[in-house]
Amino acid sequence: MADTQTASLRPFVVLCACVASLGALNNGINTSALNIPADQIRNCPAVAPGVVTFYPNSGLPECIPMSSWIWGVASGAYALGGLVGAVVSAPISKRFGRRDSMILMNVTFFIGAVLLATSTASAQFAFGRVFVGIGAGFMTATAPPYIAEIAPPNFRGALCTCFQLLITVGILLIQCIGLGLRSSWGWRVICVITVGPAILQMACLPLLPRSPRWLLSQNRVHEARAELLRLRNGDIDNEFNDMLSHFTHGATRGAASDNEKGDLDSFTGLDALAEATSQDQTLSIRQIMSIPVLAKLSIKIMIVHMACQLTGINAIMYYSTSIFQGSFGDQAVYVAIGVSVLNVVMTVIALGLIDRLGRKKLLLISSSCMCVFSVLITIGLRYDVAPLQVVCVMLFVASFAVGLGAIPFALTSEVYPTYAVSAASSMALTTNWLCNFIIGLIFPTLQSACGAYVFLIFACLTLAVFFFVLVFIPETRMKTIEEIGRMVGWADIHPATALRH
């Protein structure tokens, strides 16, 4: 019988990845929920700007007038909530496990939807955005590690990319729905749509297995083996023994070699596992940063996540309609939807390439192309060349989707040991959402101040990202998490010992 390294992929694993990624669908929905109906949210129909009218027989206003600055804060509040969700993801995942914590945190989408759909003032609207952001931030920090831990090594990159794919699908879905709901009541309906994926995920998650690595970290060895059997075709002994030896720091390797059938009861390493898991509890952010190998790795991963946001993609996703307004007028919304379609298509292509070309190569291709197209977008905006704007924005989005869009989530989930991945993901995604918030907040002001030259800032940043990836980011393609640990240097670290020094 083939081992799990060469065996085929079980459809059940794909189902698990898709269900876990429903939080990403909600992320995409809420990222672009305000893009197309922005005018209807801020301006009531058939009256002067700033005048408030009310629905018939209702105390709800038809719009919520906001200045450009307040609108930027309300839009950015989503990313602020995402930052909070990423921060709290580590302790909640540690307490309840990744699967069960995702069930719990879907409640935030319901709270946010209620606040948004019943908004009467900009402050309530912003708080609603914060709550849906908390849910989205939590999911971005929790779902990719879960997917990485249940996926076979040779399919891990593609399965982790499912998360980014559903973000792009969510963006496209809500923009298409938004076309039909550009009205004084339609924008409130858009705000409620987020509960749909939340209900579906809450219903499906209890049917999914817990992460075998997380179960081992809790010293639940037999459950871990049973769950791995649900997730794999082929002989699981080599993969499971490698997991065990990671948790016992080599104590089980000798015993495992004498037990090719994987009879756990004869593992002399089980006592070592119990001792190891009692000492190697999930690390906090402070503990990770006190271990040099993990601290250096975390800084690199945080920079990759900063690059994911600061290179300009959300400037386009948040404000694509307003960017194209000057050249295309009322047709700008259709150009924005075309951008979202391309984002989905290129993410599907990235899903097929990530385990063939590798993470590092795709990041290099992505950042270099984004740099070139940022310059060309500037030329198109400066000289009002509408076809050049459209083509280059689409190529910019395509370049992002195949690299900086898909890779950071997969990379974060696979380069850390189980005892560090929750806090490390929390750090990385906190950085990601903080930069997201900054871009959402300042881009309208930058656009006003710099005009056509605003994308030159992103060109400089993507050039810097190219050289950073070239020098500092390792290639993890086709490697188990334990093999990656040996490559980046944490495989032989005993956390309890390292923290005492």
pLDDT at 249: 56
pLDDT at 34: 82
Distances (CA, A) of 146 to 197, 300, 335, 487, 498: 18, 21, 35, 22, 26
Query: CA 79, CA 31: separation in Å to the nearest integer?
Result: 9
For residue 146 the two structure tokens come to 């879960």
Domain ranges of the chain: 11-211+286-486
Q: Are 362 and 354 in contact (CB under 8 A)?
A: yes
Distances (CA, A) of 210 to 177, 389, 458: 35, 46, 40
CATH homologous superfamily for 11-211+286-486?
MFS general substrate transporter like domains (1.20.1250.20)
pLDDT at 124: 95
**Please, what are the averages of pLDDT over each run of 10 residues along the chain (501 residues)?**
70 94 93 84 90 90 88 84 91 87 96 95 94 94 90 86 90 88 90 95 95 85 91 85 70 42 45 48 85 94 93 72 65 78 88 88 95 92 83 88 89 87 89 84 78 88 96 88 87 77 63
Q: Are 225 and 240 in contact (CB under 8 A)?
A: yes
* Number of neighbouring beta carbons within 10 Å of residue 65: 17
Query: CA 64, CA 397: separation in Å to the nearest integer?
Result: 31
Q: Are 398 and 346 in contact (CB under 8 A)?
A: yes
Question: What residue spans of 311-415 are helical by DSSP H?
Answer: 313-328, 332-353, 359-382, 386-402, 407-414
pTM: 0.81
pLDDT at 268: 44
What letter does residue 37 receive in the DSSP assignment? T
Query: CA 14, CA 397: separation in Å to the nearest integer?
Result: 26
DSSP assignment of 151-169 equals: S-GGGHHHHHHHHHHHHHH
pLDDT at 325: 65
pLDDT at 262: 43
